[in-house]
Amino acid sequence: MTQKSYDAIIIGAGVIGCCVAFELSKRGWKTLNIDRLPAAGYGSTSYSCAIIRTHYSTFTGTAMAYEGYHIWREWGDYLGVKDESGWAQYRETGCLALKTDGNNNMASVRQHSESLKIPMEDWTKTQILERLPFLDLTKYGPAKLSDHPNFGEPTGGDLAGAVYFPKAGYINDPQLAAHNVQRAAEAQGATFQFNTEIVAIRSKGDRVSGITLRDGNDIDAKVVVNVGGPHSPKINAMAGVLEDMNLSSRALRQEVAYIPTVPNFDFEANGVIYTDEDIGCYAKPEVGNKMAVGSHNPECDPDDYVDYDDFDDNLTDQAQHQIYRLAQRMPTLGIPGHVSGAVACYDQTPDWIPIYDKTCLDGYYMAVGTSGNQFKNAPVAGACMASLIEGCEGGQDHDLNPITHHLKNIVQDIDLSFFSRKRMINTESSFTVLG
């Protein structure tokens, strides 16, 4: 039984799904977001560290991040409406990225930033210690698990310095950010339906025709967009589009630990987003003068691919390994007897670059492989998907004649085939959560 029809059904109401709805609805599309969870941003978005940084390992990724920074900085202007729950807040702390052997002393990252005129500063060891005096800049890499026999042993000299990006920070409440965009989309006429499960992607001939819900109801649409986060591979399988893809995504289990900061330093007020490939960790300030400690996914950390519908959400020794690795860099860091934290899944592609693309099923699109580093790009990704969908629905063959999207804040065009499902693995990628 068909209950309603829409111009576009968006599967997922995380922050990117909400942004796709907002951008399409602003262009006059009648949209419906379907999510099996009870609220916007309730899934992997709510577990995001919500870091807003301006550097990536690729030029296109860097351009998107810097465009996104301008939107987060003026979040209320982007939304255009009030939210009864208030607005998510952007805290601009700056980001300190250590120069390491593994990232070639940030050479390519600096080149991309220079090309886009992104503010950055090369810091010496003295400047680093003026800002974060508790650091030990000894080289310990490559990163090791804390039970490795050579763990904690220096591997030759000190790090060369760091690059400081002043236009970086984090969003204090990622789930609230998704709710903000939901309200903005609704003000443009978008509809959201929660606690609803999809069991089929319907098609007629070579074109998508809608979805079927668990309760047996059908909803028709000329366009369906998969923004299902870690559940997106199963949705693509449901649509029968996997064989047309050179790259797909998988649910990668991740752990983030929350720990007290070093003594006599207010990291919440004076800390930075901190990235350190030498020890394979990153850290960010948290409420209560704590730090969130995550993994850069070095070779020593196992790739824990799981079934998103059935995975262990308890912390393991992995969280402890991350804390011990950070303690190499911060010798006065206390090791808590009980570690708290979060366990969630990233929707990850092999090169950590998302897929924003059409598929072999006309009218079926996907914004997948986004977890881990695309929260910051969500508003830009929403606009890119709107440009992609309108271009393809207008008759342009994106596979043969790639669609471009204009980044209006930084006045830069990007080629959306960079995110193609048919691309080869991008060797410029860091192959980490840094993208």
Whether residue 159 is found in the same domain as residue 287: yes
Cβ-contact 259, 293 below 8 angstroms = yes
When pLDDT is cut at 50, 70 and 90, the band that residue 1 belongs to is: low
Whether residue 408 is found in the same domain as residue 380: yes
Whether residue 68 is found in the same domain as residue 212: yes
Q: What's the chain's average pLDDT?
A: 96
Cβ-contact 11, 368 below 8 angstroms = no
Whether residue 402 is found in the same domain as residue 341: no
pLDDT tens track for 193-209 = 999 999 999 999 999 99
Q: Is 0.85 topped by the overall pTM?
A: yes
**Residue 48 CB contacts under 8 Å (≥ 6 apart), including other chains:** 15, 174, 371, 375
Whether residue 260 is found in the same domain as residue 380: no
Whether residue 235 is found in the same domain as residue 103: no
Half-sphere exposure at residue 228, Cβ-oriented, CA atoms within 13 angstroms: 27
Whether residue 326 is found in the same domain as residue 362: no
Structural tokens at position 358: 């059409």
CATH number of the domain to which 341 belongs:
3.30.9.10
Domain span at residue 11? 2-86+173-249+351-419
CATH number of the domain to which 190 belongs:
3.50.50.60
Structural tokens at position 252: 């990668």
% of the chain surpassing 90 pLDDT: 96
Q: How do strand 290-295 and strand 250-260 relate by DSSP bridges? A: antiparallel
pLDDT of residue 153: 97
34 pLDDT above the threshold of 60: yes
Whether residue 55 is found in the same domain as residue 80: yes
Domain assignment present for residue 21? The answer is yes
Q: How many domains does the chain have?
A: 2
Whether residue 77 is found in the same domain as residue 201: yes
pLDDT of residue 3: 67
Whether residue 111 is found in the same domain as residue 237: no
Whether residue 12 is found in the same domain as residue 74: yes
Whether residue 299 is found in the same domain as residue 221: no
Q: Which of 65, 256, 51, 267 is nearest to 174 (CA)?
A: 51
Indicate the residue among 299, 331, 348 that finishes a domain. Answer: 348
Q: How many CB atoms lie within 10 A of CB 332?
A: 12
Indicate the residue among 312, 332, 348 that finishes a domain. Answer: 348
pLDDT tens track for 108-135 = 999 999 999 999 999 999 999 999 999 9
4 pLDDT above the threshold of 90: no
Q: How many CB atoms lie within 10 A of CB 187?
A: 16
pLDDT of residue 209: 98
3-state SS track over 291-322: EEEEECCCCCCCCCECECCECCCCCCHHHHHH
Interatomic CA distance for residues 297 and 256, integer angstroms = 12
Indicate the residue among 324, 348, 372 that finishes a domain. Answer: 348
Interatomic CA distance for residues 349 and 252, integer angstroms = 9
**If you average pLDDT over residues 96-118, what whole number do you get?**
95
**Quick check: helix, strand or coil at residue 161?**
coil
Given the structure tokens 């994106």, which residue do they identify? 398
Q: How far apart are the first and last CA of the chain?
A: 43
Cβ-contact 146, 325 below 8 angstroms = yes
Structural tokens at position 126: 């003295």
Cβ-contact 128, 137 below 8 angstroms = yes
